[in-house]
Structure formats: C-alpha cells, structure tokens
Amino acid sequence: MKVLFLGGTGNISSACVERALAQGHQVSILTRGRRELAFSGAVTAIEGDRRDGQRLRQVAQEGRYDVVVSFIGFTAEDVALDIEAFGGQVGQYIHISSASAYQKPPNSYLITESTPLHNPFWQYSRDKIACEQTLMDAYREQGFPVTIVRPSYTYGPTWIPSGVGGHGYTVLHRLRTGQPIISHGDGSSLWVMTHTTDFAVGLVGLFGLPQARGEAYHITSDEVLTWDQIYRTIAAAAGVEAKLVHIPSDLIAALAPDWGASLLGDKAHSVVFDNTKIKRAVPGYGAMVPFAEGIRRSIAWHDADPAARCVPNVEADRRMDAIVAAYQRLCREIAPPNE
C-alpha cells in the first residue's frame, strides 16, 4: 500500500515507519526537513508544514495515498485541516490520539475502548479528545475514513521512561549517581509500558482494514507493573540499586504544576488495558518485548554514545532535588515532637 506519515521521525513514529517498510509498504513522510532520515529502506521525504492547509491539499492530490497516519495532530484545528485535505483522497486516515484521554480518575482500573473520554487535569488530553470528536463527526457526516489509535506510555531506544520529570537520561543519571528517584504516591499504582516495536505491529496491522474505519483501538502491552517495579527494573538493568522517595502526587503537582498536569491527568492512576479489540483486528498481535528487555536496549543506546546521549537535563535534575527537599522538610515540620 501507499502510505503517508504525517510525522515519522519521533519516538513512536520511526518504529512504525520501519514496520511499514518491513511489511512492503511504499512509505512517504511529510517533514519540515529538520531531522535527517535514517531508515532501513527507501522513504520518500516530502517537505512541508502539517499546519499549511494548502500544502496538505497539494500532497493529498498528488499522492492519492491508501493510508495516511497522523502522529502530529494535536488540536481540533489540526485535524480539520486534514479532513479538508484528505477527504475523498485517501482510503484510510489513522489519527494517533492518546490513552490519557480516557476518564481520569477512572471508574475502573481496567480500560476498554468504550471507557469514557474525560480528563479535567491535562489540556493535552482534552485537545486529543477534541480531535477525536472532530474526526468522528466527519466520519458520521461525510464518511471520512478515520481510525483512532490510542497509545499509552510507549518508549523506544531513545527514551528512559519516568513518571516524574520527563523521559530523558535524567532518571538514569540519578540512579547511577545514587540520587533519590521520585516515585509518585506510594509507588504501587499499576502501569503499562509498551515498546515502540510492539506498538508498530498493531498499528501497521490496521492498515487497509475496512472494519477499522470509524473505530478506536488502544495498542499496549499486557505486562502490568507498579511504578516502583518500573524504577527498580531500570536500576537493575543499569546495575545499580534504586533509592526511591514516595511523594504524594498532589504535592508534586503543587510544587511543579507543569509536571503535575500529566501526573494527575494520567500517571497517578492505576490503568490496565484490555487489548482484546486490537488482537481481534490484528490476529497474532501481542506485545513481545518485556520491559526488562526493552529498557536494556534503551540503556545500551544511550551508552553507545555517552558524550551525546548520556546528558541529564540540568533543570529537571535541579527540580527533582528541590521537590525531594521540600517533601523531606515538610515531613520534619509536621512530625510529632519527641517525647
């Protein structure tokens, strides 16, 4: 099939491009030309801004793609441009949404595609919900051939996952230097980490499926871990011991509001995903990379070029220290006096 990726050089999308190439698809990427393309097969690079409606229409008319996959639709205005450009010009349009759009706090820890979409904490999630609503309205009213895909936390070789402070090298740096790691809450909330190569199998498996039009799917691992287990698994892969400090999520959010939005709107809650629907649509799909193996690959990628890749975010590192210090100071202040 002839496939166009809107965005194709990121953490998740690059693995999906590789999977599409391996499956024999003819792949093009719409890019602003800011990153060098380095894929295992031939990829056609089309230069342009995804927010340029005129350029999108030109690309759609010239390409006549079987599948368009949008990784960079973040607002209703973004997807409205896509509907206008690709309506009547594409066999299937796949929008990459987010599992953070699911109801928070959840009524049940087990998430299915019918779980309501509602997130009062995180604007990113609300914008993704608006994208989905706009696209599904176009499907119902115009027959726009949309498929919604909702990844949860999906990591690849270039990411070291973390619930607090971002996905860069900082957490691994802190582990290796014996500094404390913030594990939100009591560290026991349930979470799922999905490797990009596994996600790609599910996504590419949806290409061209008529029954996928007008449907939503999440694609995640079935391996369920607590956040404490996640950090200890990273530490074990690095050959060190994790020093965990449990800090209430509300306090983290109060001290670092920009981190708090994604924490309270996503990672602070136990979430486990029922993957029955994607497995039914893509027979044989299953997440094959356990977190212990995936994180070993991520650490190896960083260590392969330490000067360029093993670089902590100085500001994130400083803020983590400040949050730990504030929490410890608060504990001392409210502790009962010694009798």
- Model confidence over 50-80: pLDDT tens digits? 999 999 999 999 988 999 999 999 999 999 9
249 lies in the same domain as 108:
no
249 lies in the same domain as 124:
no
Q: Give a yes or no: residue 179 inside a domain.
A: yes
pLDDT tens digits, residue range 139-155? 999 999 999 999 999 99
If one compares 38 and 152, the residue with the highest pLDDT of the two is 152
252 lies in the same domain as 205:
no
Q: Give a yes or no: residue 277 inside a domain.
A: no
Q: Give a yes or no: residue 165 inside a domain.
A: no
111 lies in the same domain as 67:
yes
Range of the structural domain that residue 74 is part of: 2-155+193-218
Question: What global pTM score does this model have?
Answer: 0.95
58 lies in the same domain as 129:
yes
CA–CA gap between residue 298 and residue 300 (Å, rounded): 5
Name the strand (E) or helix (H) holding 124: helix 123-142
200 lies in the same domain as 236:
no
Q: Give a yes or no: residue 282 inside a domain.
A: no
206 lies in the same domain as 119:
yes
Which pLDDT band holds residue 8 (cuts at 50, 70, 90)? Answer: confident
Q: Give a yes or no: residue 162 inside a domain.
A: no
Q: Give a yes or no: residue 202 inside a domain.
A: yes
pLDDT tens digits, residue range 96-139? 999 999 999 999 989 999 999 999 999 999 999 999 999 999 99
CA–CA gap between residue 234 and residue 232 (Å, rounded): 5
180 lies in the same domain as 142:
no
35 pLDDT higher than 90: no
230 lies in the same domain as 122:
no
Check the CA dihedral 70-7-192-319 and report its sign: negative
Q: For the chain, what is the mean pLDDT?
A: 95
* pLDDT value at residue 223: 98
198 lies in the same domain as 102:
yes
Q: Count up the domains in the chain and report the number.
A: 2
CA–CA gap between residue 339 and residue 332 (Å, rounded): 15
CATH of the domain at 59: 3.40.50.720
Q: Give a yes or no: residue 324 inside a domain.
A: yes
Average pLDDT in the 22-36 region?
A: 88
104 lies in the same domain as 128:
yes
CA–CA gap between residue 55 and residue 47 (Å, rounded): 9
Which pLDDT band holds residue 339 (cuts at 50, 70, 90)? Answer: low
Q: Give a yes or no: residue 164 inside a domain.
A: no
What's the CA dihedral at 48, 54, 56, 59 to 10 degrees? -90
148 lies in the same domain as 66:
yes
